[in-house]
Amino acid sequence: MRSVSVIGIGETKMGVFPDKSLKELIKEAGSKAINDAGIDKGLIEALYIGNFNSSYLCNQSHMGALASEVLELGNIPTLRTENACASGGLAFRYGYLAVASGLYDVVLVGGVEKMTHRETEVVTSALASASDGTTEFEIGATFPSLFALIANRHMYEYGTTREQMAMVAVQNHDNALLNPNAQMHKKLTIEKVVTGFPVAYPFTVFDCSLITDGAVFTVLAATEVAEKLTQKPLVEIIGSGHAGDTLTLASKKIITEFPATIKAAKEAYEMANVKPEDIDFAEVHDCFTITQIIHTEDLGFFEKGKGGFAVEEGLTAINGKIPINPSGGLKAKGHPIGATGLSQVYEAVTQLRGEAGERQVKNAEIGLTHNIGGTASTCCVHIFRRR
């Protein structure tokens, strides 16, 4: 496998844009990424696109061909990937693998989701379709309730507190205040989180990630080709891992750690030949406050059970030992499902280029992105290094 680098990135603002069409979101983010790379789009040999559920929410399937037409990419092959909230991360992985294996030299990888034009019940159903239809969704076990079970068990096993979870939300909102593309620009307090509208104990509405419209695209190229193509600082993909787990929560032996994350991270760390302590910052999949805590343990940043305490001690802040979600994360930057994995890559590249402005992590040289689908039934992890 040969070296691959990210040479262009583009994203829309994340937010509530019921009047923007899928095509407009794709056009904006895709064009930005191609312009950022500064390449002739005729060089793009394939398109990978993550989309979770526009089939249901927008009556629009076949997103690869739609995006290719919108971006005027001609007869290139396209592929839509879908593994729930990890759809974007997998588009990225398969775009990466296509270039790494020598199949293509330059590819476009994007993600898109359009959600806010539908009623909340419809969006809830669309999201719940990522769980088991017959044993979870049909009995009303939507994701907030499933992750609430996980949170309760983590509190019971490790003494993680309600306040520590609230601090995740507070911190991610603080970070999002520094991200012009973030959906939420609103300071939170622990009290506000804890006394918010209850969803499923211990979660209030402030523990849950957002419903978001948005699109993100990236241009990948073989590093040897990229060096001749662009003046942009290259960000190399040095690790890629992908693993899975059962779909249903009931079938998992342990619910306070996620084997898919542990396995995908191991694969990515080994490939990159780095250890958790080498990572300068990470974008992790904080669909709920508890999941950020669990991921930071599973990724090896903190001992099992210490993730909540680490937040309390400020270790995950932008100026902390291992900054987590400097973008604001799914919680505050937003969670446009199929685009989320790509939005993490957008942040990683922005940080490694030193272009993150007020939220810049100091001396960022190696970054990690972590994207899950369902109750961590799918996970992919990528590691990036500034060249």
Considering the rule CB under 8 A, would residue 110 count as an interface residue with a copy of itself? no
Dihedral, CA atoms, 308, 310, 313, 314, nearest 10 degrees? -110
Nearer to a copy of itself, 344 or 375 (CB): 375
Q: Tokens 């400020």 correspond to what residue?
A: 314
Site string for a copy of itself, 262-301 (x = CB under 8 A): -xx-------------------------------------
Smallest separation (angstroms) from a copy of itself to the CB of 143: 11
- What is the SS3 assignment for 269? helix
Nearer to a copy of itself, 259 or 305 (CB): 259
Active site residue 380: no
The DSSP call for residue 255 is S
What residues pair up with 216 in beta bridges, in sequence order? 11, 111
Nearer to a copy of itself, 60 or 152 (CB): 60
Alpha-carbon span 226 to 345, nearest angstrom: 18
Give exposure, 285-295, as e/b (b: 16+ Cβ within 10 Å). bbbbbbbbbbb
The binder of a copy of itself chosen from 80, 162, 232, 370 (CB under 8 A): 80
Smallest separation (angstroms) from a copy of itself to the CB of 141: 13
Smallest separation (angstroms) from a copy of itself to the CB of 297: 18
Length of the chain: 387
Considering the rule CB under 8 A, would residue 117 count as an interface residue with a copy of itself? no
Can you read off the two tokens belonging to residue 193? Answer: 């989180």
Q: Cβ atoms within 10 A of the Cβ of 213, count?
A: 26
Q: To 5 degrees, how large is the angle CA 164–CA 260–CA 128?
A: 75
**Part in contact with a copy of itself (CB under 8 A); list of ranges 3-11, 48-56, 187-195, 294-302:** 48-56
Considering the rule CB under 8 A, would residue 336 count as an interface residue with a copy of itself? no
Considering the rule CB under 8 A, would residue 200 count as an interface residue with a copy of itself? no
For the sheet with 235-244, list strands across it.
46-50, 106-113, 214-222, 4-11, 235-244, 378-386, 366-373, 281-283
Nearer to a copy of itself, 78 or 223 (CB): 78
Contact 1, 101 (CB under 8 A): yes
Active site residue 335: yes
Considering the rule CB under 8 A, would residue 62 count as an interface residue with a copy of itself? yes
Considering the rule CB under 8 A, would residue 244 count as an interface residue with a copy of itself? yes
The one catalytic residue among 242, 335, 370, 382 = 335
Q: Which residues bind a copy of itself (CB under 8 A)?
A: 1, 21-23, 46-47, 52-53, 55-56, 58-66, 68-69, 73, 75-84, 90, 94, 97-98, 100-103, 125-126, 128-134, 137, 242-248, 251, 259-260, 263-264, 373-374, 377-378, 380
